[in-house]
Every structure is written in C-alpha cells, then in structure tokens.
Amino acid sequence: MITVGAVGDLILDEPEPASFLAPAAPVLRGMDLAIGHVEVPHSTTTVQRSTDVPAPPADPAALKAVAHAGFAVVTLAGNHICDAGDEGLADTIAHARAAGLGTAGAGPDLAHARRPAIVDRGGLRIGVLSYNCVGPRDSWATSRKPGCAYVHVLTHYELDHASPGGPPKIYTFADPDSLEAMAGDVRRLRAEADVVLVSLHKGVGHTPVVVAMYESPVARAAVDAGADAVFSHHPHIMRGIEVHRGRPIFHGLGNFATVTHALTPGAGVGADELRAWAERRTKLYGFAPDPAMPFFPFHPESRNTAIAFCRFDETGLREAGFVPCWVDDQGRPVPVGGTPEGDAVAKYIEDITRGANLNGRFTTRGTEVLVDLSKGVPA
C-alpha cells in the first residue's frame, strides 16, 4: 500500500521558507509521494509580463525547502507561473528539477507542458498531469510558445430579468476541443501508469463555498478518462469534495504555505496598482486581510486547509481522505487532525461540501478524515 498526498497553493516569498513548512513536514515525509502546486515563478529575473496584479518571482532557493519538506512533484499550470516571462518560467522548471522535484503542467511549448511527471513508488508507476483552467490566456503554451497546459473555459452572462444593468446569471463551460485534449492526455497516461492523478487550477477566487458551473464537468471528465483522483487549487480558499465513479475530486485545497507581501500595499514600485487591488478586493470579495498577518493577504476562512491523500495497492485505489490543517499566526500550515481544532477544520470542509451540493461524505479516523468512496458509483 502506498500513500499519495497533495496540497494546494505554495507561495514561499518570505525569508526562511523552510520554517513555514516545518510543522507539516513530518506528515509529508511520511507519505510515499507528496505533490504541491507552485503558484509563482522562482527566478532572479526582473522581467514582469502580467498586466494584472503580478506575482513577483520568489527566491529559487525556496524550491529546495519544498523538496526538503517532503514534496517530490510540483504542478505548475496556473495563472501566475508566467508573470516573470519566459525566462522566469524556464528558471522555475530548472530550479525545481535541480532541487529534485518532478514538474508537470508547464514547459517550453505545449507538448512539454502536457507531459506528465512520472515517478515509481512501491512497485507502482504514478503519473501526474497539470492544467490551468483560468487566465491569463497569454500564459498558455502553444506549439511554439512557452507556457502552461490549459483547459479553455468559456463564460457566458445572461440577463434573465427585465432590469438592464442588473446582475446576470453566469454560465461557465469548457470548450469541447480543449476538454477532449485533456481527456486524451489522461487516456494515454492511463495506458502506461498504474496511478493517474490530475491537478486542476480552477475556481472562483477568494469566495467561500462556491463551485462554478464548469468545475464538476471538467473534473468528472478527467475521472471518466481514467484519472484516479483530481486535486484542485487556485481560489486561495478551500472547496468541497465530490466523489465520481468512486474517485475523489478535491475541488479546492486552498492555501497551504502562502506567505508573501506582494499583495500588501506600501511604498515603491507598483504601489498604486496594489492600493487599487486592495480596494477592489474588498468590494469584490467582502474582506480585508488580517492586519496582524501582512504576509498572509487572504480570506480569513482560508486558514482552514488540508493535506489530501489517496492510498493505492496493486488493485487500485483503496481509500482517500484528508489531514485537517490550520494556518497558524506565523502563516504555517499545521496538521491538527485528532484535536478540537482539527474537528473544526473538518466541520468547515463538510459545511462547504454541503453548501456546494457536493456528494462527499466523511468519517473521522484518528488524525485523518476519510472520504466515502461508495458515493458517485454507477448502480
């Protein structure tokens, strides 16, 4: 039996990056394979390409801390991975691999970005694919352009009442060709790997509970094509859990270690953009970060997080679940399973699962919370 673990976003853009992962490292190192999502470039370049709120590149040495904490594979397909241009992307991949990390989801062209990371553990061959479902579109790879692998999601707004300027109903769905491209990658990997895992960067940022219309169909398409589990991230806040055909879909693993001052308004270059973003964040999402944690500029509920896990043997997936974690006042994700704090995190995940009308059902066992894999199985 092997255990594969996965977490949400990693942003280690503060001094002593290893310290932020130290409380969780014993759990991560105890797994046969741990997967994390690297949210920002890691490079010394000064290039800035994004015209949104760009993520400045983090110190490449932080990737050594990621590996030291127990991670062996990092997924890269996301909305900030190209913020430091082609050089920043290439540096990130090179530094990750130099640290001993396998990478998936980004590369010098689309073919490389769609290539899985493959590792062997306990006699099983494990493949990991990574896709970005959000913008910016100029971060997506093409046959001749560096970038990330992606699933193209379309948004349609419909005014469904006679009030011009009123709130529309929002429809989101994946472009069929793009969805089929992902499914084709999964099917090909299924033919050569014992375990197939898909990472999706998706969802509505900084907003509790909500799972957008496109999210379940995209994740289910991955399972239908042969994925054993889907691990998601991007909103910087937890999402609920679904089971489809007996396979777990973690719709959003939220923040894991995400420490940065990049979104904290101050003086200097980019100050005007950051102040504008801070004002827009409050209007859009209804929160302001805790002033006592300027290195953690996220929704207060995003301190609830988890380490997802799946266990496999030669017959396939045996069980799945999560270890509840809480982001402490220093910005460190701390495993709290089997404690009152862990019970509160588990209840939060159960509540947001119900709130999104997902079918996940949970049972606590010691420091872990198990997902009932009998749900979503065809009769």
**Rounded alpha-carbon distances, angstroms, from residue 127 to 78, 105, 123, 220:** 19, 12, 13, 18
Mean per-residue pLDDT for 74-80? Answer: 97
* Residue 140 phi, psi (nearest 5): -75, 145
Count of structural domains within the chain: 1
Q: Is 346 exposed, middle or buried (0-12, 13-18, 19+ CB in 10 A)?
A: buried
Mean per-residue pLDDT for 197-220? Answer: 97
Lowest-confidence segment of 3-7, 125-129, 273-277, 348-352 by average pLDDT: 273-277
What is the token pair recorded at 26?
Answer: 């014993």
**Rounded alpha-carbon distances, angstroms, from residue 359 to 225, 303, 356:** 20, 23, 9
Answer yes or no: is pLDDT of 377 > 90. Answer: no
Question: In 3D, which of 50, 317, 325, 24 has the Cα closest to residue 194?
Answer: 317
Whether 376 maps to a domain, the answer reads: no
Length of the chain: 379
Q: Which residue has the tokens 């992606």?
A: 150
Q: 110-133 pLDDT, tens per residue? A: 999 999 999 999 999 999 999 999
DSSP string of 309-362?
EEEEETTEEEEEEEEEEEE-TTS-EEE-TTSHHHHHHHHHHHHHHHHTT----E
Whether 365 maps to a domain, the answer reads: yes
Q: 300-358 pLDDT, tens per residue? A: 999 999 999 999 999 999 999 999 999 999 999 999 999 999 999 999 999 999 999 99
Whether 217 maps to a domain, the answer reads: yes
- How much of the chain is in helix, strand and coil states, percent to nearest 5? 25, 30, 40
Whether 378 maps to a domain, the answer reads: no
Q: Alpha helices, DSSP H only, in the chain?
A: 17-21, 25-29, 62-68, 85-98, 110-113, 176-190, 215-225, 271-285, 340-355
Whether 254 maps to a domain, the answer reads: yes
pLDDT of residue 346: 98
CATH of the domain at 229: 3.60.21.10
Answer yes or no: is pLDDT of 239 > 80. Answer: yes
Range of the domain at 19: 2-371
Q: Which is more confident, 165 or 145?
A: 145
Omega of the bond prior to 136 within 30 degrees of 0, cis? Answer: yes
Whether 377 maps to a domain, the answer reads: no
Virtual torsion, Cα 360, 363, 366, 369, nearest 10 deg: 0
Q: 168-202 pLDDT, tens per residue? A: 889 999 999 999 999 999 999 999 999 999 999 99
Q: Which is more confident, 271 or 180?
A: 180
Answer yes or no: is pLDDT of 267 > 60. Answer: no
Instruction: Round to whole Å and give the CA distance between 351 and 330.
Output: 26
What is the token pair recorded at 292?
Answer: 């006592």
Residues 6 or more apart from 15 whose CB is under 8 A from it?
none
Whether 50 maps to a domain, the answer reads: yes
Whether 121 maps to a domain, the answer reads: yes
pLDDT of residue 378: 64
Q: How many CB atoms lie within 10 A of CB 135?
A: 13
pLDDT of residue 262: 77
Answer yes or no: is pLDDT of 161 > 80. Answer: no
Q: Give the pLDDT band of residue 270 (cuts 50, 70, 90).
A: low
**Residue pair 337/369 in contact by the 8 Å Cβ criterion:** yes
Answer yes or no: is pLDDT of 95 > 70. Answer: yes
Answer yes or no: is pLDDT of 255 > 80. Answer: yes
Q: Which is more confident, 280 or 260?
A: 260
- Compute the chain's Rg from CA coordinates: 19
One-letter amino acid for residue 93 of the chain: I
pTM for this model (two decimals):
0.96
